[in-house]
Amino acid sequence: MPRGNGQGPMWWHGRFRGCGYRITVGREAILDVLTRADKHLSAEDIYIKVHTAYPAIGLTTIYRTLEILVNLGLVFKFDFGDGRARYELAEGSKRSAHHHHLICTDCKRVIDYTDFIDDEIELLKQTEKGLSEKYNFMITNHLIQFYGLCDKCRKKKGGD
Amino acid sequence: MPRGNGQGPMWWHGRFRGCGYRITVGREAILDVLTRADKHLSAEDIYIKVHTAYPAIGLTTIYRTLEILVNLGLVFKFDFGDGRARYELAEGSKRSAHHHHLICTDCKRVIDYTDFIDDEIELLKQTEKGLSEKYNFMITNHLIQFYGLCDKCRKKKGGD
DNA sequence: TCCTTAATGGCAATGGTTTCCATTACCAAG
DNA sequence: CTTGGTAATGGAAACCATTGCCATTAAGGA
Ligand SMILES: [Mn+2]
Ligand SMILES: [Mn+2]
Ligand SMILES: [Zn+2]
Ligand SMILES: [Zn+2]
């Protein structure tokens, strides 16, 4: 099993240990799958991938590990409206950079976009500051998604 | 049962009929509950409220009607992370104005905010335009939520 | 190497949402 | 107003992602 660079402890080991969590093969396998994922995976997607290399690891462990990862802020959990949660490595790892989502309400396709992010982040920063003060709320994260019809579904539906 | 103003067809009747849907007591009751709601209701919340006036209406009808309303764009469906969908009348009706959400990841409390909305909308318009062109996507809606710790949960947790 | 205890896996249980189908009731036509 | 075609309904069963339970395993500090 390739482990990122094949040697030393992974980038997340420290964080894990620091919170009292143990490093296990299952957890390494799950992080590995998430790290090399190029799309948004469901718990079962991850289970299947992990299963090919480690058939002993159960779906329950996938859920448990994902919950920890989400709480640690290492992974984001999304609801794209298809009835199952989707997971994606948080920025900070090489693979994923901060981005937002474009979701087709018809075929459920999800597009990551990083364009315009700079302007958005700029405004978000201000908004977060204002909201924090007014509502005495400590903002730690945000979710921005645009919904509509994708390229293909647009054609399938009406003209225009 | 008060019906908004007590006479003529409701504001949504036209839209409903236009799409080939029939007007039924159940649907009127559900819209009525949504119209006078002051918070985000789950399907069951709506069922309970409707049930006091119309005990004959079942939970299944609530779900079916909500699906139609969401598809028509009259109602927004949200996932605030507590395991059940929440519904809210879309703007356009008197009650609800366009707003975004502030969600406490600890107690799941949701705050509607309309502050800073103007600046946000301004940027969103530009972003939507850019995204539409680049990805050939027809954007019809957006979702913006900030996550963090609310006033109370902040105190309960660590100091600071 | 040993021991404490976090972690695990399989399976049952949970619970929100959907499906099914026989019955009801809109509402357009006459 | 009455009628008929069919959309809408309700009750209960089915669905299915996620969680709980508990006996067993294995991290990893001593
Ligand atoms: Mn993404
Ligand atoms: Mn709201
Ligand atoms: Zn699509
Ligand atoms: Zn809170």
The model's pLDDT over B14-26, given as tens digits with 9 standing for 90+, comes to: 999 999 999 999 9
Q: Could you read off the pLDDT of B89-98 as tens digits, one per residue? A: 998 766 678 8
User: Residues A45, A17: one domain?
Assistant: yes
Of all residues in chain B, the percent with pLDDT exceeding 70 is 91
A61 and A123 together in one domain: no
**Confidence category of residue A158, pLDDT binned at 50, 70, 90:** low
Position B36, amino acid: R
Its pTM surpasses 0.85: yes
Please tell me the distance in Å from A52's CA to the nearest CA on chain B: 30
* Protein-to-nucleotide distance from the CA of A93 to the C1' of D30, whole angstroms: 34
* Residue B115 and residue B82 share a domain: no
CA B160 to mean position of chain CA atoms: 34
Percentages (nearest 5) of helix, strand, coil residues in chain B = 40, 20, 35
Is the confidence at residue B1, as pLDDT, over 70? no
Nearest Cα residue in chain B from A128: B146
Q: Residues of chain A with pLDDT > 90: what percent?
A: 71
Q: How confident is the model at residue A93 (pLDDT cuts 50, 70, 90)?
A: low
Q: What is the pLDDT of residue A160?
A: 44
Are residues B151 and B110 both part of a single domain? yes
> Are A131 and B102 an interchain contact pair (Cβ–Cβ within 8 Å)?
yes
Would you say residue B159 has pLDDT above 60? no
Whether B84 and B101 map to the same domain: the answer is: no
If you measure from the C-alpha of residue A89 to the centroid of ligand 3, how many angstroms do you get, rounded to a whole number? 24
Number of structural domains chain A divides into = 2
Residues above pLDDT 70, as percent of chain A: 91
Could you tell me the maximum CA-CA distance found in chain B, to the nearest angstrom?
Answer: 57
Helix (H, G, I), strand (E, B) or coil at A59: helix
Statement to judge: residues B70 and B102 lie in one domain: no
Torsion of CA B122, B128, B129, B135, to 10 degrees: 160
In terms of phi and psi (left: phi > 0; alpha: psi -120 to 50; beta: otherwise), the region of B86 is: beta
Residue at B126: amino acid letter: Q
Label residue A156 by pLDDT band (50, 70, 90): confident
Q: Are residues A106 and A79 in the same domain?
A: no
Q: How far is CA B46 from the centre of its chain?
A: 12
Q: Is the pLDDT of residue A50 over 50?
A: yes
A3-7, A84-88, B119-123, B140-144: the lowest-pLDDT one: A3-7
CA pseudo-torsion sign A44, A74, A67, B107: negative
Residues A9 and A75 both lie in one domain = yes
Q: What is the pLDDT of residue B8?
A: 63
Cα separation, B19 vs A112, in Å, equals 33
Residues A33 and A76 occupy one common structural domain: yes
Q: Note whether A31 contacts B: Cβ–Cβ < 8 A.
A: no
CA of A112 to the centre of ligand 1 (A): 5
Q: How far is CA A154 from the centre of its chain?
A: 27
CA A129 to C1' C8, whole Å: 43
Residues of chain A with C-beta less than 8 angstroms from the C-beta of B142: 144-147
Tens-digit pLDDT profile for residues B96-146 = 788 999 999 888 899 999 887 788 888 889 999 999 999 999 999 999 999
The parent domain of residue B11 ranges over 1-92
Residues B78 and B28 in one domain: yes
Question: Per-residue confidence at A119, pLDDT binned at 50, 70, 90?
Answer: confident
pLDDT at B11: 87
